[in-house]
Chains A and B, each alone.
Chain A
Amino acid sequence: MKIAVLVKRVADSETRVKVGGDGTAVDPAGVQYVINPYDEIAVEQALQLKAGASAGGEVIIVCLGPKDAAKEVRKALAMTADSAVLLADEMPYRDSYGTAKVLADELKELSPDLIISGRISIDSQVGAVAPMVAQMLEMPLITEVSSLNLEGETLTCERAFEGGKEVVEAKLPALVTVQKGLVEPRLPKLPDIMKAKKKPMTEKPAAEIAPKIKVLSMELPPPRAGGEIVGEGAEAAPALVKKLKDEAGVL
C-alpha cells in the first residue's frame, strides 16, 4: 500500500510573529519553522498504517514549499517515512488553488492508495487545499478524522465534532484530513535522524500558477488590555456584575 502525506512547513506557534514591510505577509526574520502540527499527526497515522499492514507499504512525503523546507521534510523522513518529494516553490505568494493544483498533479503521478493531510495549517488557516486536491483527483474526501480503520480497500473513519460524531466509510483511493487526538506523533530517534539523510528526496520546481486571490492586508490582533481589580470579597460583587453587564456586555 502506498500512502502519501501532505506536509507543510509553518512558523512555530512559539514564534512571536511580526507582519513584514509590505503589510501582506509575515516577516520571515527570526522565525522558527516546524512541520504543521496537524500534518505531523498525518505522518504518524500513515506510519502506523504501514506498520499494521500485513503486505507492508510505503509512506511518501509530499511537500510544497521553499527549498529550505527540506529540513522539515527530513524530519518526516526521520520519523521513518520512506521517501519524499519537495516541490520547490519560488512564488512569493501562492493561494490554495495554486497549491492544490501543484500537489494534485504530483499525486496523479505517484498514484497513492491513500492520501493523508492535517485538517488545516496553523499559519494561514484556510483548510482548503486538501478538499481541493480530493476534488481535482476525483477522490472521496473525509475531513476532520478522529479515528481511522482500514480493512482491505475499505476505510472507516470517525469524525468527532462539537455535539456528536459521525462514522463514515469510503473505498480507496481516498483522501482524509486528520485532527488532534487521532494519534500522538513520535519523536524521531537519533539513529533514524542519521539515516534520514540517505533516504530518497526528490526536489523539483513547482509550476507557477497565477493566484486567483490577492492578500490586501494582514495585521496582528490588538494587544490584550490589562485587567482591572474591582474590589475584594463579596461587597465587590455588585460592581463586578455591573461592569460585566455594561462595559464588557457579556451578561
Chain B
Amino acid sequence: MDLTEEQQQIREMVREFAVKEVEPIAHEIDETRRFPKETVERMAELGLFGIPITEEYEGAGGDNLSYILAVEEISRVCGSTGITLASNFSLGTYPIWAFGTEEQKRKYIPDLASGRRMGCFGLTEANAGSDAGGTQTTAVKKGDRWILNGTKMFITNASYAYTCVVTAVTDKKAKKKHQGISAFIVTKDMKGFTAGKKLDKLGLRGSDTAEIILEDVEVPEENLIGEINGGFKFFMQTLDGGRISIGALGLGLAQGALDKATQYARERIQFGVPIGRHQQVGFKLASMATEIEAARHLVWHAARLKDRGLPYSKEAAMAKLFASEAAYRATKDAIQIYGGNGYSREYPVERYFRDAKLCEIGEGTSEIQRLVISRTLLNE
C-alpha cells in the first residue's frame, strides 16, 4: 500500500527503534507493571510525540498517517508502549492542538510535541463510560475562575501527565445532558489536582492507567477549550481521531502475533514436518494475515481521510472495530499455534492476547463503534 518515501523512512526508523529498544524490555515491564520512563525519553528524543504538529510548535511537521504508522510499529512489539504514545498524542495533545486557542497552543503544545511533558484526557467516570452524558464532574464559575470537582477514572498516562484535558458539567439544567458539558485544560501544579490509584490491569501492564481526583481545583477562565457547553462535540471529535490510533494499536498487536506465530510454525516440528505445513496451522496463518491486511487498509484509509481534511468519523469507527476484533482473533490464534507454550508466560503471545483485549473496550467499546456506524448509515 503505497507510502511516500518519508512515510517509509519514518516507519523503518520506528521499527528499528521498536526492535532494538522497546521489544527487549516488553516482557519485563508487563511482568513488573513498570512504566518505562527511559523509553518515553527516547521517544521524545526521536520526535515521536509530535509527529503531526508543525515545526513552529516543536513538532516534526509530518502527517497523521506517519503518526499512525509509528503507533502500529511500536505496538507490534509492545502494546503498553504503543498505547502510551497513542494516548499521549491523540488524547493528551490533539484536543489542545485542534480546538485550543492560539494562546493555549503556544502555552502547552511545544512541551507536549517535544515530549518534555506528557498529557492525558479525562473523560471517563464511574457513571460516565459509554454514556458520556452521565458526567458528574462539575465546573462552577466563580469570578474569572472555574472551580472543578469530581473523579475521573481509567486515565492513560495520568500519573505522568502535566496537562489533563477534562470534561465537566457546566450547565446542570441543560435539556439534554450532553449539551451541558465543557472541556478544560487542568495542570498537575494546580491545587487540588491529584493523580490517584493506579489500575491493576489484565494487559498493557507497562502503561499507566490511574484516577484523577479534582478537589476545588481553580482553573483560570482562559483554560476553557472551545465554547462553553460545547464539550460533547469536542470530545466526540477527539475520540474519532483516537479511534484510528487504537485501530493502529490493534493492528500492530495482530501483526506482532502473526510474526511470532509464523516464525514458530516454521521451526516447531511435529509429525516430522514444521507445523506450518499442517493445513490446520497454515490456514490459520493465512486467515490471520488476510484479516490484518484488511485491517491495515481500513486504518490507513481513515488516517488518510483525516490528512486530507475529509470526514472520517464512520471510517475511524470501522477501522477501530475491525482492527480490534482482528487483533483479538489473531492473538488468540497465535496462542493456539504455540500450543502449551502459547499459554506459558515464557513466550510472548499470551501478552499480545491480554493487550489486544483493550482494543475492544478503550475509546469506545466495539458496541459503541457499531452504534456510531449504524447511526451514520441510518443518518441519525
With A194-B60, A194-B62 already in contact, the answer to whether A189 and B45 are too (CB < 8 A) is yes
Contact B16 A187 (CB under 8 A): yes
**Which chain A positions have C-beta within 8 A of B215?**
none
- On whether A194 and B6 interact (CB within 8 A), knowing A187-B46, A189-B47, the answer reads yes
Query: With an 8 A cutoff between CB atoms, is A164 at the interface?
Result: no
In-complex Cβ contact of A191 among B5, B9, B47 (8 A)? B47
Does chain B have a CB within 8 A of A119? no
Decide: B61 and A78 in contact? CB cutoff 8 A.
no
In the assembled complex, the Cα of A62 lies from the Cα of B17 at a distance in Å of 26
Q: Cβ of A74 and Cβ of B47 under 8 Å apart?
A: no
Q: In the complex, what distance in Å separates the CA atom of A188 from the CA atom of B14?
A: 9
* A245 contacts the other chain (CB 8 A): no
Residues of A within 8 A of B55 (CB): 191, 194
For A226, the closest partner residue in chain B by CB is B269
Interface band, chain A = 10 to 19
A189 to B8, CA, bound (A): 14
How would residues 218 to 244 of chain A score, 1 for a CB under 8 Å from any chain B CB and 0 otherwise? 000000001000000000000000000
Q: Is the CB–CB distance between A190 and B62 below 8 Å? A: yes
Distance from A43 Cβ to chain B, minimum over Cβ atoms (Å): 14
CA distance A197 to B45 in the complex (A): 20
Contact yes or no, B13 A187, CB < 8 A: yes
Contact A190 B17 (CB under 8 A): no
Q: Does A8 contact B (CB under 8 A)?
A: no
Q: How far apart are the CA atoms of A191 and B58 in the complex, in Å?
A: 9
Q: Which residues of A contact B13 (CB under 8 A)?
A: 78, 187-188, 190, 193
The total of chain B residues at the interface (CB under 8 A) is: 20
**Do B6 and A197 touch (CB < 8 A)?**
yes
Beta-carbon contacts under 8 Å, A26-73 to B: 70-71
Across the interface, B60 reaches (CB within 8 A) one of A71, A75, A187, A190, namely A190
Cα-based distance from A194 to B59 in the complex (angstroms): 11
A190 lies within 8 A of B5 (CB): no
B61 touches A193 (CB 8 A): no
Bitwise, B237-255 to A at CB < 8 A (1) or not (0) is 0000000000000000000
Question: Is the pair B9, A188 in contact by a Cβ cutoff of 8 Å?
Answer: yes
Q: Mark A180-204, 1 if CB is under 8 A from B, else 0.
A: 0000000111111110110000000
Query: Which of chain B's residues 59-112 have a Cβ closer than 8 Å to chain A?
Result: 59-62
Which of B8, B10, B12 has the most chain A CB atoms closer than 10 A to its own CB? B12
Selected contact of B6 from candidates A187, A193, A226, CB within 8 Å: A193
Residues of A within 8 A of B60 (CB): 190-191, 193-194
Q: How far is the CB of B307 from chain A (nearest CB, A)?
A: 15
Q: Mark B1-35, 1 if CB is under 8 A from A, else 0.
A: 00001101110110011000000000000000000
Cα distance A187–B12 in the bound complex, in angstroms: 10
The docked-state distance in angstroms from the alpha carbon of A193 to that of B47 is 10
Residues A75 and B9 in contact, CB atoms below 8 Å apart: yes
**Which residues of the partner chain A approach B46 to less than 8 Å between Cβ atoms?**
187, 189-190
Measured in the bound complex, the distance between the Cα atoms of B339 and A37 in whole Å is 37
**Cβ distance A202 to chain B, nearest Cβ, rounded Å:** 17
B16 touches A190 (CB 8 A): no
Interface string of A120-131 (1 = CB under 8 A from B): 000000000000
Residues of B within 8 A of A191 (CB): 47, 55, 59-61
Please, which residues of chain B bring their CB within 8 A of the CB of A71? 5, 8-9
Q: How far is the CB of B265 from chain A (nearest CB, A)?
A: 14
CA distance A133 to B62 in the complex (A): 39
**Proximity bits, A96-134, B CB within 8 Å = 1, else 0:** 000000000000000000000000000000000000000
Q: Which residues of B contact A78 (CB under 8 A)?
A: 9, 13
Q: Which of B224-277 contact A (CB under 8 A)?
A: 269
Given A71-B5, A74-B5, A187-B17, A193 and B45 contact (CB-CB distance below 8 Å)? no
Do residues A190 and B8 form an inter-chain contact, with CB atoms below 8 A?
Answer: no
A189–B47 CA distance with the chains assembled, in angstroms: 6
Interface residues of B in 27-53 (CB under 8 A from A): 45-48, 51
Q: Which residues of B contact A187 (CB under 8 A)?
A: 13, 16-17, 46
Chain B minimum-CB-distance residue to A188: B13
Q: Which residue of B lies closest to A190 (CB)?
A: B47
Contact residues in A for B12 (Cβ distance below 8 Å):
75
B269 neighbours in A (Cβ, 8 Å): 226
Encoded as 1 (CB less than 8 Å from any A CB) or 0, chain B from 359 to 370 comes to 000000000000
Note all chain B residues with C-beta closer than 8 A to A70.
Answer: 5
Query: What are 11 A-B contacts with C-beta separation under 8 Å?
Result: A74-B9, A78-B9, A187-B16, A187-B17, A188-B9, A190-B10, A191-B47, A191-B61, A192-B47, A193-B10, A194-B61
14 additional A-B pairs beyond A75-B9, A193-B6, beta carbons within 8 Å, are A71-B9, A74-B9, A189-B46, A190-B10, A190-B13, A190-B47, A190-B48, A190-B51, A190-B60, A193-B9, A193-B10, A194-B61, A194-B62, A197-B6
A residues with a Cβ closer than 8 A to B are 70-71, 74-75, 78, 187-194, 196-197, 226
- Which 6 A/B pairs are nearest by Cβ-Cβ distance? A190-B47, A190-B60, A191-B60, A189-B47, A193-B9, A191-B47
